[in-house]
Structure 1
């Protein structure tokens, strides 16, 4: 299905593994030109090479989104080199930052302030697009009561709230803003694959919560993101799309 991404220019943070990598691949397959960033140079180069070898138009860069200056420079440089910017996907997370007070600081700087900086830097370029969109990757952790107090849940909740607010403030400028909240995602090298091997009881307990009978895949989340970011979703703004196999019990009115 053609979503209308062909010929569009997209920006994705954290694009070398997991959900971010899946989004870069899916957008490239839809014919978009995609600029992505990550912190590890070797991973950036490998991702860029692999997707280009499959015919994708991608451009990788080494950027730490917690560092505002380089992040702003990357956004501006990517938009300039691609000749514009149509879709922004904010994906990077510190995944809790390792716990403790420093974990909260790391999560704040990476998840929340990194998102704020990326969006603000992208706005002048999105304003020149005929179909601008911003998609924020959150989590079902944002809408469920956590087992304990943790920065990951709090930052994801803040991102969902912020995205909804942006949809209201940027709507008059024609810029759509949505968030996507994946549930547990099973992919090679990810948390839940590691849990399956090292903590099988934890893995099975989580899987048993999911009415679909399995965890969702990276590709399933990426397809949802591509749709919301595309002109095919031109009337959709301000939603939080949950992709979790019906795990969360709250009704999404």
Structure 2
């Protein structure tokens, strides 16, 4: 299927690792021009170089998503370098873990505010696109608690709610907003990879809770993000696409 992404311009915040990196690779392979950022300068340079070696168009900068002014300024510069923006996705996250004052603050800054700030900064350019799309990254634990109370889940729930309301608000302007909520995704060097090595019993218990019998892959999430972001999904907005191998139990009416 041709996703009709060739020539589109995508701004990806926090996209040098994990799902963000996989999305950058898929969009670049589909013909999108990519502008990405992350805090680690070496990681940005490596990601950009690899995308270019594979024939993609990519540029990037080292940006701390917790620095509101620097982050907003980067989105503006990225739009100018690309000559527009058709797709915006923020992958910023503080990750999971037990509640603490520091984790609550980090989740507020990197999961919620980073999403809001990036979208807000990109909106003036997205409004000029003929096929504007925002994809928000949430998680299944935002809709169905699975690993105890944690800031990550609560703030991602807020992100999911915000995205749904934003979809209705921006639809008259031709800007689509959709959410992708992955379940456990096994990524080399990522959280579940570390759990597999350090807490094998918990890892196997989690795998056994997934009806498909395995954890997901970053590429599987990336393909879904690309589909939702593409003109092929032109009539889809306000949805929350759950990608979890059937792990969540709720009936999705």
Short-chain TM bin = over 0.9
Total equivalences in the alignment = 253
Partner of 2:71: 71
Separation (CA, whole Å) in 1 of partners of 2:69 and 2:96: 23
Does residue 1:80 correspond to 2:77, yes or no?
Answer: no
- Contact 1:45-1:60 at 8 Å conserved across structures: yes
Does residue 1:93 correspond to 2:93, yes or no?
Answer: yes
The offset of 1:216, in angstroms, is 0.9
Q: How does 1:73-222 map to 2 (within 5 A)?
A: 73-96=73-96, 99-222=99-222
Compared with structure 1, are the counterparts of its residues 98 and 82 closer, same or farther at alpha carbon in structure 2 (3 Å cutoff)? Answer: farther
Aligned CA RMSD, in angstroms, stands at 1.1
- Contact 2:98-2:150 at 8 Å conserved across structures: no
Structure 2: 5+ residue stretches without partners: none
- Contact 1:97-1:106 at 8 Å conserved across structures: no
Moved over 3 A (4+): 96-99
Separation (CA, whole Å) in 1 of partners of 2:113 and 2:222: 23
* TM-score using structure 2 length: 0.97
Structure 1: 5+ residue stretches without partners: none
- Contact 1:146-1:153 at 8 Å conserved across structures: no
Separation (CA, whole Å) in 2 of partners of 1:70 and 1:97: 27
Compared with structure 1, are the counterparts of its residues 23 and 208 closer, same or farther at alpha carbon in structure 2 (3 Å cutoff)? Answer: same
Separation (CA, whole Å) in 2 of partners of 1:96 and 1:103: 8
Separation (CA, whole Å) in 2 of partners of 1:117 and 1:97: 24
Deviates more, 1:226-235 or 1:143-152: 143-152
